[in-house]
Chains A and B, each alone.
Chain A
Amino acid sequence: MPSDLELIGTCALFRGLPPAAIAELGAAAAVERFEKKVLLFHEGEPARALWMLRAGRLKLTKLGGNGQEIVVRFLIPGDPFGAIAILAGARYPVSAEAVEACEAFSWTPADVAALVERYPAIGMNSARVMSERMQELQERYRELATERVAQRVARAILRLARQTGRRVEGGVLLDLPLSRQDLAELTGTTLFTISRTLSEWEQQGLVELGRERVLIKSPHGLVTIAEDLPS
């Protein structure tokens, strides 16, 4: 388990900063705790802080006009979010919800502005993070526009496995508290389609489903679907 300062040092926004800067970030950070399902902030709210997840898991979501929630991404400890607070007067473009009990560091926009001024690398790092997330969204947009649902679901599961999964006896375990509804929102499909797709894969021995966990028994099988490879 890394220390708080080690965790802050691994954050993509603060990579490459000298130890003195990391210590300064640690000293300026407030730690807040949130129970499962609590919203840390709402989409459209003034961005009152820049955040970094310290423990637990959370999801960033957007609400559609018809009230349907879209999951933008899941976050794990060390991930920054609400980085829009770096810009003065900005509003959060998404909501952040704890999918399990969470702890997060937060920095006020004034603290962030002072730090960016002293350590310009934070500005470059944030441009890099934005650019990576933009590329990921472009990729997902392409998937939505051009791929079959099964391909998108396979890709989403593999992406989450790559980010948060671990190798266990019998496969790769994804024990993110991930409901079928979450997967539907993440891949732009319906709960019914997700349930049908996962059940088919379970029958084929590709995955084993549990409560809020997916064991990928055949990573290659899912890759074959995701990449549309000859099986």
Chain B
Amino acid sequence: MEARWSTPIDAGMTVEDTLLHVPQAAEIFLEHHMACVGCVMSCFDTLADAALIYGIPIETLLAEIAALHESEQGLETPS
């Protein structure tokens, strides 16, 4: 499970890879009404492309995914 989080999420990562590494990112796409989940072009479009298309600052999108990533890690870290 730990290995799933080892790849850093950045603006150049494709939407497909992002969803593969952080499946919960689907929640964030849906909240922003982005049609990325299940999109046939998700293997080509990067997070930067998707943010641009939907007029969302890429920093915001990355921060939201990173926050989710951190909270999930927190849950998975043994006390």
A residues near B (Cβ < 8 Å) are 158-159, 161-162, 165, 167, 172, 219-220, 222-223, 226-227, 229
Query: Chain B residues with Cβ under 8 A from A158's Cβ?
Result: 40-41
Query: Chain A residues with Cβ under 8 A from B40's Cβ?
Result: 158-159, 161-162, 223, 226
Query: Chain A residues with Cβ under 8 A from B3's Cβ?
Result: none
Q: Is the CB of B43 within 8 A of A219?
A: no
**A165's closest neighbor in chain B, by CB?**
B44
Query: Chain A residues with Cβ under 8 A from B35's Cβ?
Result: 223, 227, 229
Closest chain-A Cβ to B45's Cβ sits at a distance in Å of 6
Considering the complex, which residues of chain B in the window 27-46 have a beta carbon less than 8 Å from any beta carbon of chain A? 35, 39-41, 43-45
| Chain B: interface residue total (CB-CB under 8 A) | 9
Q: CA–CA, A159 to B40, complex, Å?
A: 7
Q: CA–CA, A165 to B45, complex, Å?
A: 13
Query: Chain B residues with Cβ under 8 A from A162's Cβ?
Result: 40-41, 43
As a 0/1 sequence over residues 26 to 68 of chain B, the CB contacts with chain A under 8 angstroms (1 = contact) are 0000000001000111011100010001000000000000000
Number of CB contacts from chain A to chain B under 8 A? 28
B residues near A (Cβ < 8 Å) are 35, 39-41, 43-45, 49, 53
User: DSSP class of B's interface residues: helix, strand, loop or mixed?
Assistant: loop
Q: CA–CA, A158 to B43, complex, Å?
A: 11
Q: CA–CA, A226 to B40, complex, Å?
A: 10
**A155's closest neighbor in chain B, by CB?**
B40
- Beyond contacts A219-B41, A227-B35, A229-B35: 14 other A-B pairs, Cβ-Cβ < 8 A, are A158-B41, A161-B41, A161-B44, A162-B40, A162-B41, A165-B44, A172-B41, A172-B44, A219-B45, A220-B41, A222-B41, A223-B39, A223-B40, A223-B41
* Partner pick for B53 among A159, A172, A220, A222, CB 8 A cutoff: A220
Q: CA–CA, A222 to B39, complex, Å?
A: 11
Query: What are 23 A-B residue pairs whose CB atoms fall within 8 Å in the complex?
Result: A158-B40, A159-B40, A161-B40, A161-B41, A162-B41, A162-B43, A165-B44, A167-B44, A219-B41, A219-B44, A219-B45, A220-B41, A220-B45, A220-B49, A220-B53, A222-B41, A223-B35, A223-B39, A223-B40, A223-B41, A226-B40, A227-B35, A229-B35
Query: Chain B residues with Cβ under 8 A from A219's Cβ?
Result: 41, 44-45
Query: Chain B residues with Cβ under 8 A from A159's Cβ?
Result: 40
Query: Chain A residues with Cβ under 8 A from B49's Cβ?
Result: 220
Closest chain-B Cβ to A87's Cβ sits at a distance in Å of 33
Q: CA–CA, A165 to B43, complex, Å?
A: 10
Closest chain-B Cβ to A225's Cβ sits at a distance in Å of 12
Task: Name, among B39, B40, B45, the residue most crowded by chain A CB atoms within 10 Å (CB to CB).
Answer: B40
Q: CA–CA, A187 to B65, complex, Å?
A: 38
